[in-house]
């Protein structure tokens, strides 16, 4: 945790200079209160960096949330152990879910997935639902603010959360600690060295 300035709190141990500069510029906006927070997985984005927590007074900035508004992940508890589902063809199951769930910004992304395909209707209860691109009215440091989380999840004390690892690795169901300096926020995923567009440059 590093206070780069009075209004810019950085949790990223690895952060490139363009992202740091984008964060610095964002933190200077006059309606920020009490400070701008950069998550550990911050990287360059449009409007502001992905992995940003932006509290504002008397202003809402749609570009902060970005085009993926309402994105998130959900973890569900099945009540079954690995041996119970070992006989299922997991690839076929995934492909069936993809066919059953229409993918577009106008459809309702993770709750539909949990019941869209008959073979996964063994689900018993939700363990964690973590949205990470949204704006909500919250109270921090004695003031009501509009808090925008772009690539960050709420981590109020006791709130279940979900932090995915890198592609192909485990995700983690976590419990918020309500850490005030982070504005009760946590990263939405593993850190990355490149933006999505930057990473694409390494593929043929």
pLDDT at residue 142 tops 90: yes
Lowest mean pLDDT among 62-76, 86-100, 121-135: 121-135
Mean pLDDT rounded to a whole number for the chain = 79
61 and 135 housed in the same domain = yes
135 and 63 housed in the same domain = yes
pLDDT for residue 163: 83
Structure token digits, residue 19: 């992202």
pLDDT for residue 53: 95
Q: Which residue is it, tokens 């610095």?
A: 24
How far is the CA of 38 from the CAs of 52, 53, 97, 130, 179, in angstroms?
Answer: 5, 6, 34, 18, 14
116 and 140 housed in the same domain = no
pLDDT at residue 204 tops 50: no
pLDDT at residue 131 tops 80: no
Last residue of a domain, one of 64, 94, 123: 123
35 and 85 housed in the same domain = no
- E strand residue ranges, the chain: 2-5, 8-10, 36-43, 50-56, 72-77, 125-131, 133-140, 143-150, 152-154, 160-164, 171-175, 185-187
113 and 135 housed in the same domain = no
The set of residues, in sequence order, having a beta carbon less than 8 Å from that of 118 and lying 6+ positions away, is none
21 and 64 housed in the same domain = yes
113 and 176 housed in the same domain = no
Q: How large a percentage of the chain has pLDDT more than 90? A: 31
pLDDT for residue 61: 85
- pLDDT tens digit sequence for 9-52: 999 888 889 999 999 999 999 999 999 999 988 888 888 888 99
91 and 181 housed in the same domain = no
- pLDDT tens digit sequence for 153-172: 999 999 988 887 766 677 88
Count of domains for the chain: 2
10 and 96 housed in the same domain = no
- pLDDT tens digit sequence for 49-62: 889 999 999 998 88
pTM above 0.75, yes or no: yes
The domain in which residue 119 lies consists of: 79-123
59 and 94 housed in the same domain = no
87 and 180 housed in the same domain = no
11 and 44 housed in the same domain = yes
């Amino acid at each position: 945790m590093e206070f780069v300035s009075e209004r810019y709190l950085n949790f990223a141990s690895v952060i490139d200079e363009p992202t740091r500069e984008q964060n610095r510029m964002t933190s200077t906006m006059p309606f920020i209160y009490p400070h701008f927070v950069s998550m550990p997985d911050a990287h360059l984005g449009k409007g502001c960096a992905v992995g940003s927590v932006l509290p504002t007074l008397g202003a809402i900035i749609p570009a902060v949330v970005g085009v993926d508004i309402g994105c998130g992940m959900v973890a569900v508890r099945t009540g079954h152990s690995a041996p119970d589902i070992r006989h299922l063809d997991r690839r076929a199951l995934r492909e069936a879910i993809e066919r059953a769930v229409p993918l577009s910004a106008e459809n309702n992304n993770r709750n539909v997935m949990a019941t869209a395909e008959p073979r996964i209707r063994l689900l018993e209860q939700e363990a964690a639902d973590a949205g990470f691109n949204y704006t909500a009215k919250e109270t921090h440091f004695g003031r009501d603010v509009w808090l925008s989380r772009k690539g960050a999840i709420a981590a109020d004390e006791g709130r279940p959360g979900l932090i995915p690892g890198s592609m192909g690795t485990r995700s983690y169901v976590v419990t918020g600690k309500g850490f005030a300096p982070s504005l009760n926020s946590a990263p939405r995923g593993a850190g990355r060295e490149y933006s999505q567009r930057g990473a694409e440059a390494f593929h043929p």
